[in-house]
Structures are given as C-alpha cells and as structure tokens.
Structure 1
Amino acid sequence: MQITLHHAHEARSMRILWLLEELGATYELRSYDFFNKSLRSEAYLAIHPAGRVPSVEIDGKVMLESGAIAEYLAEQFPDVGLHRGPDHPERMAYLELLHYAETIGQHLANLTQGHIVLYEDWMRSPTQISLETKRLAKVLGRLELLLRDGRDHLLASGFSAADCAVGYGIWLAPRFVSLDKLPHVAAYRDRLMARPALQKALPPEGAKRIYSKDFYEVPDV
C-alpha cells in the first residue's frame, strides 16, 4: 500500500500522522506551512480543493476527511487491532467516538481562528471566543463522564483509532481551557502523551508551529 499524507504541524492532519505511526505503516509525509500560501498552491488545490489538511493519497486515490481516513486506515491493518469491526460489541461506541472528534475539532478550529488567524485585535470577537471556550469545555465534559469508570482509553476494549482522532483534540485543548475540573481527561491526556507514536507525530525541533503560546486567555468581553 502506497500512502502519502499531506500535513501541517499541529493541524488536524496530526491525527492521521499519529495513527500511521500507531499502525506501523510505511508512508511519505509532505509537510506544509499553515501560514503561507503553500496549501493554496495550484498543485495542492488539485489534491484538496479547499486547501486544507489532512489529505491522503492511498494507491493513487485521495481521501480528505480525517474521520473517514482514520476509519479506513485502521481497517487496512487488522492485525494491529485499532478498528472495531461490525461484529464487535463496541462497534457503535467506536464509530460514534471516532467521529466525535469533529465535534471537539469544530470548537478548536473556531478558537484557533479567533485567537490566531484573526491576528489583529479589531478582527476578533471576545464574545465569540468566550462562547467557544465554554463550548469546548462542555464537549470535553462528556469525555470526563466516560472516563470516570477507570478505563484507560475511550473504549473498554482498549486503545483504538478513536483515541487518535479524539486524542488530538485532548492534546490541543489545554491551550484554550484548563483541565483542572476535568481530572479524568487530564489523566487520559497524560497516558496519550506517553505513547511513542504520539511523540513522533509532534512537530520536530525548530518546526514552525501554529500555537506559540501555552495558553490563550479569553479576552475581556
């Protein structure tokens, strides 16, 4: 299988980079700068017309949606055990959590837009940033309830592609919200950070990052 991942450091494509490392897959990585116009080049727009990451080329065919990419790739490496097939008792929970990553990602994207992409104070809406911060904390609260039964991962059956999908959001969330009131989410994040595959998906030393601050304060409304 020939796999090419189009990626920008710290963007949602990190989910797929992490998953590929967990799967032990052989792949080619093509990295782009989130802030320059490389994602809007004619060559890249021919792959992803919206100029976003991730996009993955698999044996000459292109996939663009990270949830679908994660689901498909996990199925291609059945011996690794990161998917849950149709007959698995946690199949429903697996699929739902895998795609819950986009619920988390929506609020992270809006906060990234508000704090970083809209770089001048006059461009920003403190009200919008405040609302999105509260919404992010609320969707993380669902995971706090799920994890309080003592499980190590999202599924009782163990680590899966859903952890890579959701885990990206858990990795990024403390840039915007405190996890002090979400102790089970915080402990889960620590477990994920200890995984060698996640460490390999982080930006290399000296790479240009999207997030330059450890924490982005909500501006005064």
Structure 2
Amino acid sequence: MITVFGEGRGFRVVWLLEEMGLPYQLRPVDLVAGVDNDPEFLAINPAGFIPALRDGDATMVESIAIMEYLMGRYGPTPLAPDPADPAFPAYQQFLHLGEAGLAASLFFVVVSRNLAPEAERHNWGARKALEVYESRLRLVTRRLADSPYLAGDRFTAADISVTYALEFAQRTGAAALGEAEQAYVTRTSGREAYKRAMDVCQATKAWAAEASARRNSGSEEAGAR
C-alpha cells in the first residue's frame, strides 16, 4: 500500500494518486506539535519535513520527485507526456517551476511575514523571494494566454504542481492572483480528482475554507467603504 505522510505539499501527491486511480492511504503528520515524538515518520524522513512517501521498500521525500516516481512506476499515464511528445518540454518546465520557482520562493515570504520578529518581517531575503515568485509567475501567465493548461490543451501533472503553488499564494495572502491565473485555478480545481483529494486532505480543506472566508470578508469590507 502506498502511504503519503503529511498534507501541505503532500496534497499534490494525493491529487495525483486520485487522478491515476491508485490505492493509497494518507498518514497525518502534525508539524505544529513537532515530529520529535513521531518515530514512524522520522524513520521515513529524518529531516522531518513533509511530504514523504512509503511504497513497499521505497521511501521518498520532495513532492515533485514523488510525483515523477509514481508516474514512472505506475504509468504510463496521460498526466506525463512522452518525451517525444511536442508537449513534453513545457510539461517538464512547469512541473518543476511549480515548486522550484513558485512555491519554494513563497515559502520564505510566508514564514518571514508570519513567524519572524516584527522588525524582520519585510527583510531583503523575503522581498527577493517575492520578486523571484513574480518573475516565474509571468511565465505561467504568458503560457495561459496561449493554452488552457500548461502543457497545452490537456491537463497534466504540471498543472497539479502549479495549481498547488497558486493556491498557496492565495490562501496565505502572500500574493494575489490575476484574472488569468484565477480562471486557471478554477478550471483545474473543478476536476473530480481534485475534489476527492480535498475530501481526503481534511486539514487542507479546512485551510481552504478559512482562507476563502477571510477573502470574502475582506471583499465585503472593501465594498462597504
């Protein structure tokens, strides 16, 4: 049985598993409480971050690497175009850009704004990380002007990768989405596999609902002024 440890970026993995129709279980990891008293998880990932994967004797960390492993191990799947497919270069680029260029950059913005001492929240590193995110986002915006999905006309794992990053930006308030990005997220999050993944990832579902309520409240207050 495939076991996914932790939500957060683990949502990408759960969504992929739902798209592929593979059996799995989600094993929660409480990072807020700390993982020092979670020896089962630390045996999988001694570094203590999520997500992690156990599949028989195989253990892995890093959400994009896990996704590539699952598609390679249990594919072929239309979620990963063949290397000879003209869509492959764009697929490969955006699959990795969703984490390396977008989500990873925003992580440092979010922890600076929310966890750093007040005087250090808008530090140089956080500002630079936001600039990196914004520059990479322009690649997404430009691509969406030409096609409904990042690899072309069909949904792929690259869309799972980038959708997570854009929703992370929106839910944390670290960066706003433009019209094209918002329409794209509405399109990708309308998939049945996404909805099933949200039902499995209850902490993510609660976070999304809380963030949506916060945005709606802000919109109502702005409209009242």
Partner of 1:183: 179
Q: Could you tell me whether the CA contact under 8 Å between 1:34 and 1:210 is conserved in 2? A: no
Partner of 2:104: 106
Mapped partners of 1:132, 1:167: distance in 2: 19
Whichever residue aligns with residue 25 of structure 2, its letter is E
- Residue-pair matches, total: 208
Counterpart mapping for 1:1-221 below 5 A: 2-8=1-7, 11-38=8-35, 41-78=38-75, 80-102=77-99, 103-118=101-116, 120-122=117-119, 124-149=121-146, 151-174=147-170, 175-179=173-177, 182-202=178-198, 203-204=201-202, 209=207, 214=214
Mapped partners of 2:205, 2:149: distance in 1: 30
1:58 Cα deviation (Å)? 1.3
Mapped partners of 1:156, 1:211: distance in 2: 30
Could you tell me the TM-score, scaled by structure 1's length?
Answer: 0.81
Q: Kindly tell me: are residues 206 and 184 of structure 1, through their superposed partners in 2, closer, same or farther at Cα, counting changes over 3 Å?
A: closer
Whichever residue aligns with residue 184 of structure 1, its letter is A
Q: Could you tell me whether the CA contact under 8 Å between 1:40 and 1:51 is conserved in 2? A: no
Q: Which has the higher contact order (CA 8 A, sep 6+)?
A: 1
Could you tell me the TM-score, scaled by structure 2's length?
Answer: 0.80
Mapped partners of 1:68, 1:205: distance in 2: 23
Mapped partners of 1:193, 1:206: distance in 2: 13
Whichever residue aligns with residue 106 of structure 1, its letter is A
Deviations 1:95-120 (A, max 9, x none): 222111221121121122113343x4
1:212 Cα deviation (Å)? 6.3
Q: Kindly tell me: are residues 110 and 63 of structure 1, through their superposed partners in 2, closer, same or farther at Cα, counting changes over 3 Å?
A: same
Q: Could you tell me whether the CA contact under 8 Å between 1:83 and 1:161 is conserved in 2? A: yes
Mapped partners of 1:206, 1:81: distance in 2: 26
Structure 2 unaligned residues grouped into runs of 5+: 216-225
Mapped partners of 1:51, 1:111: distance in 2: 21
Q: Percent identity?
A: 27
1:89 Cα deviation (Å)? 2.3
Structure 1 unaligned residues grouped into runs of 5+: 216-221
1:124 Cα deviation (Å)? 2.8
Mapped partners of 1:210, 1:51: distance in 2: 24
Partner of 1:218: none
Whichever residue aligns with residue 3 of structure 1, its letter is I
Q: Kindly tell me: are residues 115 and 210 of structure 1, through their superposed partners in 2, closer, same or farther at Cα, counting changes over 3 Å?
A: farther
Q: Could you tell me whether the CA contact under 8 Å between 1:170 and 1:189 is conserved in 2? A: yes
Secondary structure in 1 matching 2:3: strand
